[in-house]
Amino acid sequence: MDTTQLFSLKGRSALITGGSRGIGRMIAEGFLAQGARVYISARKAAACDQTAKELSAFGHCVSLPADVSTLEGAQALVAAYAKHEDSLDILVNNAGAAWGAPYDEFPESGWDKVVDLNLKAPFFLTQALTPMLKKAATDHLSKVINIASIDGISVNPQETYSYAASKAGLIQLTRRMALRLAQDRIVVSAIAPGAFASDMNKDARDHGDEVKGRIPAGRIGTPEDMAGAAIYLASRAGDYVMGSTLVVDGGVTHAR
């Protein structure tokens, strides 16, 4: 048994949606460190371009701005990526949104925005990229990693109805897609993050000392925690993990 290359991504290409900040950026930097060519996408072009410029210090990183919440946006991202690569080894469906409002006032716009990006986009973007994922699956397996959330596993006190529903749906979608795509040598799995500092999780970012008091590990997640989980699933090390969701939360779901 040779374990020296188990976690290597050398020579592989990766596309990460929502890659300009937060968890997406953490994963992008981790993939670059393992030798991958990384393409990041985000709705805001300036932020995406700036992050790609910064991450280029660690390896090949290209900005491909797009809004994947619509079918047209997803197809535009596929076309932009195809100008650089003719196959895709790793797809990380990370782009996401949240919306909080009291039950009696929760708006349809808050439902549609969140569900379209968190649940619909991963399915249709993966569908559109499946030919390129299949092409890459030669001497190794291609990977799709969906970024879910612990809010799709256990209930928190916040009234984020569409977010919780979309993430629970994404976990089940991961299982269903994994069964179908295994025949094409494409492994589908997911990560359910807990508290990581980001623009979406402002509590963890701005009130880390308070938040960590509710986490058995005694701290919020670090970029290395997230990068390590994603590298594991994306590399040879994670080849036999199909349809499962890896919970990376410092134990908080067990303490709720």
Higher per-residue confidence, 118 vs 204: 118
Q: Mind listing the pLDDT tens digit for each residue in 147-156?
A: 999 999 999 8
Domain count, the chain: 1
pTM of the model: 0.95
Question: CA nearest 109: which of 171, 167, 161?
Answer: 161
Residue 95 lies inside a defined structural domain of this protein = yes
Catalytic residue among 39, 81, 163, 232: 163
pLDDT for 205 = 53
- C-alpha to C-alpha distance for 143 and 241, rounded to whole angstroms: 10
Residue 99 lies inside a defined structural domain of this protein = yes
Q: What is the full DSSP assignment across 65-96?
A: ---TTSHHHHHHHHHHHHTT-S--SEEEE---
pLDDT for 33 = 98
Q: Mind listing the pLDDT tens digit for each residue in 87-99?
A: 999 999 999 999 9
- C-alpha to C-alpha distance for 148 and 207, rounded to whole angstroms: 22
Q: Mind listing the pLDDT tens digit for each residue in 157-189?
A: 899 999 999 999 999 999 999 999 999 999 999
Question: Does 75 score more than 60 pLDDT?
Answer: yes
Question: Does 43 score more than 60 pLDDT?
Answer: yes
243 DSSP 8-state letter: S
Q: What is the CATH classification number for the domain harbouring 183?
A: 3.40.50.720
Question: Does 199 score more than 70 pLDDT?
Answer: no
Residue 2 lies inside a defined structural domain of this protein = no
**Environment class of residue 161 by beta-carbon count within 10 Å: exposed (0-12), middle (13-18) or buried (19+)?**
middle
Residue 6 lies inside a defined structural domain of this protein = no
Question: Does 204 score more than 80 pLDDT?
Answer: no
Residue 8 lies inside a defined structural domain of this protein = no
pLDDT band at 197; cut points 50, 70, 90 = confident
Residue 4 lies inside a defined structural domain of this protein = no
Residue 92 lies inside a defined structural domain of this protein = yes
Are the beta carbons of 250 and 217 closer than 8 angstroms?
yes
- C-alpha to C-alpha distance for 256 and 244, rounded to whole angstroms: 21
Higher per-residue confidence, 180 vs 204: 180
Question: In terms of residue numbers, what domain contains 200?
Answer: 13-255
Decide if 163 is catalytic: yes
User: Tokens standing for 197?
Assistant: 């500092």
pLDDT for 211 = 81
Average pLDDT over residues 23-49: 97
Residue 93 lies inside a defined structural domain of this protein = yes
Higher per-residue confidence, 15 vs 206: 15
